[in-house]
């Protein structure tokens, strides 16, 4: 498209979700991906989430997020369907999802067009690096993930405007990260910066209005739609995404080394094997889910029965794990 600043054909449509519920927005994206045909009809979905941590599809929530901090501060934890690492979202961050057919899938092009919008309208010069992050002066302001299935693809990415960087750092630092061994996708931490500190006029709303204006001006048959936050089918699907099964049970198999002598093997969110010297003592823990309601009563049972092995000082290292159970 000569002269177009956007990587969208003429009849693109821009959707903005009015919901701030991360599960609703993920369900909306999934629903659009499954039900709409993107041939000659690419979509751009713009959304924002209330404070939440979003895991990649094949990641480990205990390893990537500080579950104790999330519980204490009411931050939600969700798992998306695309790969990549864990991110922190809040209202100072926006999410853009570009849904197309798999032949129009072009992540670098999409991100470069965003850089152009930022440069032309807000005078911020950023670059796209090899990992497909958008970087401003060495700080990351955007992360990317995508999914390709059945002839369709979506590429979604975030843009940081005025996020709470302190909450971001605390939520993504798990105390269990060193004791969990897994094949799951690891997250790569990067230093981040808020774009509103570079240009105070830049925030999610101003960015959205510039972007949707650009689409309306340059693409024929383009229109902007706002999606209400209470569409029934999507609410039903969002309940599935917020369930224990999706967030915790879908974790790939992993091991926790409580101490050099005790290892728990967790599959599908449940303890399946105990390894180490004390495995006969810890038998009641088998088949329990790795969550507070199921794990802690069994653990306290063990402590009572074997009080001679345990003392106040010698909890065998389970304390950190118990504090970080969902």
Partner 1 sequence: MLGSNTLRCLRLFARSSYLPYRQLHKLRRLTGRNTVYSQVTMLTPRLPRSIGVRWLSDLPSHIKITLPALSPTMEVGSIKGWKLKEGDKLNEGDVLAEIETDKAVMEFSCPDHIAEGYLAKIIAPEGTKDIKLGTHICIMVEDEEDVGSFSNYVAEPEETPVPVSPDLGSIVPPTKQPTQDKTTDIRSIETDDRLKVSPYARKLAAERGVDLRSLKGTGPGGRVIANDITQPIKTPVYTGPKTEAPLPTYTDIEMSGMRRTIAKRLLESKQNIPHYYLQIAVSMDTAIQLRQDFNNISPDLPKLSLNDFVIKAAATALRIVPECNSSFHDQYYIRQHHNVDICVAVATDGGLLTPIVFTADKKGLREINRDVAELAEKARLGNLQPQEFQGGTFTISNLGMYGVSSFSAIINPPQSCILAVGSTQEIVVPDEEGCYKTAKVMNVQMSCDHRVVDGAVGAKWLKEFKRFMECPAAMLQ
Of residues 212-251, which lie at the interface with partner 1 (CB under 8 A)? none
Of residues 107-126, which lie at the interface with partner 1 (CB under 8 A)? 107
Least Å from the CB of residue 172 to partner 1: 17
| 77 lies in the site for partner 1, by CB under 8 A | no
| 144 lies in the site for partner 1, by CB under 8 A | yes
Of residues 251-280, which lie at the interface with partner 1 (CB under 8 A)? 252-255
Least Å from the CB of residue 74 to partner 1: 29
CA dihedral 107, 108, 113, 115 (to 10 degrees): 120
CA dihedral 171, 173, 176, 178 (to 10 degrees): 160
According to DSSP, residue 170 is labeled H
Q: What are phi and psi of 156, to 5 degrees?
A: -120, 150
Tell me, by CB under 8 A, how many residues bind partner 1.
27
Stretch that binds partner 1, among 44-52, 148-156, 168-176, 297-305 (CB under 8 A): 148-156
Q: Which of 19, 47, 49, 82 binds partner 1 (CB under 8 A)?
A: 82
| 183 lies in the site for partner 1, by CB under 8 A | yes
Output the CA angle 210-222-29, nearest 5 degrees.
80
Q: Which of 4, 57, 199, 212 binds partner 1 (CB under 8 A)?
A: 57
Q: Which of 119, 120, 127, 131 binds partner 1 (CB under 8 A)?
A: 131
Give the C-alpha separation, 244 to 254, whole Å.
17
| 83 lies in the site for partner 1, by CB under 8 A | yes
Residues 6+ apart with CB under 8 A from 205: none
| 145 lies in the site for partner 1, by CB under 8 A | yes
**Cβ atoms within 10 A of the Cβ of 150, count?**
8
| Per-residue CA distances from 239 to 156, 201, 232, 268, 290 (Å) | 22, 36, 11, 19, 20
Residues that bind partner 1 (CB under 8 A): 56-58, 81-85, 105, 107, 131-132, 144-150, 181-183, 185, 252-255
């Amino acid at each position: 498209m000569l002269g177009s600043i956007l990587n969208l054909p003429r009849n693109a449509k821009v959707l903005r979700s009015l919901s701030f519920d991360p599960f609703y927005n993920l369900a909306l994206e999934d629903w659009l991906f499954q039900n709409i045909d993107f041939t000659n009809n690419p979509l751009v979905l713009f959304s924002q989430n209330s404070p939440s941590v979003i895991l990649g599809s094949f990641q480990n929530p205990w390893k990537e997020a500080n579950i104790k901090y999330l519980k204490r501060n009411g931050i939600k934890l969700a798992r998306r369907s695309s790969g990549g690492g864990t991110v922190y979202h809040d209202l100072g961050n926006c999410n853009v999802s570009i849904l197309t057919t798999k032949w129009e899938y072009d992540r670098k092009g999409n991100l470069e067009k965003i850089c152009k919008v930022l440069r032309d309208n807000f005078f911020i010069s950023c670059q796209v690096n090899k990992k497909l992050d958008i970087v401003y002066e060495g700080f990351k302001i955007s992360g990317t993930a995508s999914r390709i299935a059945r002839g369709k693809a979506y590429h979604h990415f975030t843009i940081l405007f005025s996020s709470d960087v302190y909450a971001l750092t605390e939520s993504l630092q798990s105390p269990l990260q060193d004791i969990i061994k897994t094949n799951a996708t690891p997250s790569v931490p990067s230093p981040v910066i808020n774009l509103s500190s570079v240009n105070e006029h830049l925030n999610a709303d101003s960015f959205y209005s510039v972007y949707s204006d650009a689409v309306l001006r340059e693409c024929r048959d383009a229109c902007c739609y706002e999606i209400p936050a209470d569409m029934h089918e999507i609410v039903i699907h969002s309940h599935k995404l917020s369930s224990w099964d999706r967030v915790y049970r879908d974790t790939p198999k992993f091991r926790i080394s409580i101490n050099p002598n005790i290892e728990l093997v967790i599959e599908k969110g449940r303890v399946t094997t105990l390894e180490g010297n004390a495995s006969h003592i810890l038998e009641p823990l088998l088949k329990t889910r790795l969550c507070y309601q199921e794990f802690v009563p069994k653990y306290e049972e063990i402590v009572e029965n074997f009080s001679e092995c345990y003392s106040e000082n010698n909890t065998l290292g389970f304390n950190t794990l118990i504090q970080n159970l969902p």
